[in-house]
Structure 1
Amino acid sequence: MAGVTPTMGRRKLGGVLTALREGAKLTGDQAAKLANFSTGKLSRLETGHNVVYPKDVRALLDAYATPATVRDQVLRLAELAEQPGWWQEFGDVLPMDFDLYLSVEEAAASLLVFETSVVLGLLQTEDYARTWLRAEDPGIPNADLERFVKLRMTRQRLLGRESGGLTLWAIFDEAVLRRKVGGPEIMRAQLGHLLTMSEQSNITIQVLPFEVGAHVAASGSFTLVEFEQPTDPEIGYVDCAAGNVYAEKPAQVRRLKTNFHHLTSLALPPQKSLSFIRKAQKELT
C-alpha cells in the first residue's frame, strides 16, 4: 500500500479526514486506536497514499462522531476518490507517477507555468509533440509514441472546457522559441499555434527574452497549480530527469509564486510577446 499513487481525489479526501480528526481533537495515535487501524495506515489515508475503502472511512467517521450530513459528503468524496481518470486508458505508456500530475491538472482552476526549453505540452502541436517525444526517447516503439502523442493531445481539452475551464498563464524563455524542434516547417506551425491559442481569453503567453540575463528562475522550469476551493492548497510541480517533484510546503509554494510574479514583470507584456513570436516565426529558415 505504501507505493499507492496519491491521486487528487485521495489527496482531497485525506485533507478532509485530517480536518475532521483535528476537529475532534484527536491525535493520530488516538484516532487510529478508535478506528482499529495502525497509525501508519491512518497516515497513508490522510496523505492520499492508501487505496480508499468505504469501511475504513466509515470507521474514522464513527471515531470522530461526524454528523450525518457531513458523513454523506465524505463518503461521496471517498467514492469519487477511487474512480479512474480518463488517463488510465493510457496506463501502458504513462511515465512513473505522471498519473498524479494528470489528476492534479484535471482538478486545477489555473496553471502558472515557466518553461525554459520546450513548449508546454498543453500548447504543443501534434508534430512538435511527436518530434520532441522521439528526441527524448529515441528507442520508443512507434505505437507507443503515437499513444503518447494522443495522450498529450487529449490533455489539451482542458483549455477548451465550456464550464470550469482551465486558466493558463505561460511564460516561455526565448530559447523555447529559438530551438528548431523538427525543423523550420514544424516550428513555424508550432509558433503559429501559440499565436492562435493566445486568442483564447483563458490563455496568457509571455516571452522572457535573452536580454533579461540572469533571473530568479534561471535554474529551471516549474508549474504552480491553483485550485478553485481555498481549502485546496496550491501545489508546485517540477519535472526533471530524476523524477517528478511536488512542492507542497507553504514556504516552497510562496517562493515559486514570488518567482513567477517576478518573471511576469521581467518578461515582455502579452501583446509585445505575441509580436516577438510572430517575428521569430518569420525568421525561421
Structure 2
Amino acid sequence: MPEKRQPPPTVRLRRLAAELRRLRAAAGLTREEVTERKGINAATLYRIEKARAKPQKRTLIALLDLYEATDSRRADLLAIQSGSNDRGWLRPFHAELYEEYTAYIGFESEARTVRNYESMFVPGLAQTERYAYAAIKGALPTASKRGVEQRVQTRMDRQALLTKENPLRFWAIVDEAVVRRAVGGREVMREQLLHLLQLMEEPHVTLQVIPFDKGAHAGMSGSFVHMDFPDAADPELVYVDSQAGDVFLETEDELRHYKSRFEHLQAIAAGPNESADLLAKLAQAKI
C-alpha cells in the first residue's frame, strides 16, 4: 500500500515555526537545552521548528514560558496555533502596529525569489529612505511619527536581502504611474529614480515598467508579491497588502492565478533596457 503523502505545511504553521526558532535563538538556548528543561522530545521539537508538526497548546505554552515571550507575542502565537491547519491567512491592519509586518518580513527573508507587481508605489525593497518616509506618511495619515519612523527603518533593514552574500533574486514590475508620481516632491523622486537605475545594474535585480500606452492590464486590480523558497518542502506563496490587512494565499488555484498574472505583466511591460531609458529620462527632467 503506497505511503500517504503528507500535505505541505500551511503558511500559518510555517510562520509559527519560524517565530519559535527566533524566540529560542533570542533566549540563547539550543534544542538540546530546551528538551532538557521542558522534557519535550527532541524529535518533536525539531519537527515543530521545521513546520512538520503542529505543537499542542500545552507544549506551545511551555515553550513560550521558557523563552519569556511578551504577552502580545504569546497571544499572537497562540492565535496562530489555533488556526494553523487552515489554508490562507488574513492579518488585520492596525495603523500603529508595525508588528503585523513580521510575518511578511519573515517569509521574505527566507525566500529565494520575490516577484513583486506594484501599481502605486515603488516596491519597498527598492525605496530610498526619503521616498519611504513620504510614501508611508502619505498612505497612513493618522499614524504617529514614531510609527512612521519604525516602518521606514524596517523597510530599510529589509533591503539587506539585496546585498547579502547570496542575494535575493528580485523581479519588480511597476505601472508607469509609479515612476511619474512625485512622492515626497521632485527632488525626492529624482533621487528615487536614480536609485532604481543603480539597482538595475545588479544581476539579481530586474525592473520593468508598464507604459501608459498599454492601456488596461492584469495588474490594475491591485499589487501583489509572489515568493518561492530554496527548500522544496516550503510551498510558494502569494502576499496581498489590502485595506483590510495582510493576506497570504497558498492554494494551488491561487498560486496559479497570480503566477499567470505576473507572466502576463512581464509580457506587456517594457523590457529592462527600455524601462531604464524611461527612468533616466524622467530623472533628467526631474519628472
Length-normalised TM-score, structure 1: 0.70
After superposition, where does 1:97-176 map in structure 2 within 5 Å? 97-163=100-166, 165-176=167-178
Indicate conservation of the 8 Å contact 2:183/2:189, yes or no: yes
Greater length-normalized contact order (CA 8 Å, ≥ 6 residues apart): 2
Q: Is the 8 A contact 1:130 1:149 kept in 2?
A: yes
Q: For residue 230 of structure 1, what is the aligned residue in structure 2?
A: 232
1:10 maps onto 2:12 in alignment: no
Residue 212 of structure 1: CA displacement? 0.9
Rounded to whole Å, the distance in 2 between the matches of 1:133 and 1:193 is 18
Give the AA of the match of 1:115.
Answer: E
Please state how far the C-alpha of 1:197 moved relative to its aligned partner: 0.9
The counterpart of 2:194, out of the listed 189, 192, 195, is 192
Query: 1:122 touches 1:152 (CA, 8 Å); kept in 2?
Result: yes
CA–CA distance in 1 between the matches of 2:235 and 2:272?
28
What is the deviation of 1:247? 1.3
* Contact persistence 1:7–1:100 (CA under 8 A): no
Cα-to-partner distance string for 1:29-73 (whole Å, 9 max, x where unaligned): xxxxxxxxxxxxxxxxxxxxxxxx977974xxxxxxxxx9x6685
Residue 261 of structure 1, aligned match among 263, 269, 275: 263
Question: CA 1:145–1:261 in 2, change beyond 3 Å: closer, same or farther?
Answer: same
Alignment counterpart, residue 74 of structure 1, candidates 38, 47, 52: 47
Identify unmatched segments of 5+ residues in structure 2: 1-10, 20-33, 56-62, 74-94
Secondary structure at the aligned position of 2:165 is classed as: coil
Q: How high is the TM-score relative to the length of structure 2?
A: 0.70
Deviations 1:111-140 (A, max 9, x none): 011000000111100110111111122233
The CA distance in 2 between the partners of 1:152 and 1:237, in whole Å, is 16
Deviation at 1:166, TM superposition (A): 0.9
- What CA distance in whole angstroms lies between the structure 2 residues aligned with 1:277 and 1:240? 28
Query: Quick one: distance in 2 between partners of 1:191 and 1:206?
Result: 13
User: Once the two structures are superposed, what CA deviation does each residue of 1:171-223 show, in whole Å capped at 9, x if it has no partner?
Assistant: 01001001110111000000000001111111100011111111222211111
* Aligned-pair Cα RMSD in Å: 3.1
* Residues 233-265 of structure 1, C-alpha deviations (whole Å, 9 max, x = no match): 110111011111111111100110011011111
The amino acid across from 2:147 in the alignment is D
The answer (yes or no) to whether the contact 1:7–1:99 under 8 Å persists in 2 is no
Q: CA deviation at 1:167?
A: 0.7
Work out whether residues 8 and 100 of structure 1, in 8 Å CA contact, stay in contact via their aligned partners in 2: no
Residue identity in the other structure for 1:269 = G
Q: Cα distance, 1:7 vs. partner?
A: 6.8
Structure 1 residues 220 and 57: CA distance shift in structure 2, 3 A: farther
User: Does the aligned pair in 1 maintain the 2:17–2:50 contact within 8 Å?
Assistant: no
Which residues of structure 1 form unaligned runs of 5+?
14-52, 59-67
Contact 2:174 2:209 in 1 (8 A): yes
Instruction: Pick closer, same or farther for the CA change 1:72–1:181 going to 2, 3 Å.
Output: closer
Any residues of structure 2 matched to 1:1-80 within 5 Å, and which?
6=12, 8-10=14-16, 58=41, 73-74=46-47, 77=50
Match of 1:270 in 2: 272
Distance 1:209 1:57 in 2: 57
Q: Is the 8 A contact 1:223 1:238 kept in 2?
A: yes
Write out per-residue CA displacement over residues 153-177 of structure 1, whole angstroms, 9 at most, x where no aligned residue.
11111111103x2110000100100
Quick check: 1:168–1:202 contact (8 Å CA) kept in 2?
yes
1:250 aligned partner: 252
Identity of paired residues, percent?
36
Contact between 1:93 and 1:147, CA under 8 Å: does it hold in 2?
Answer: no
1:56 and 1:222 mapped to 2: Cα distance? 43
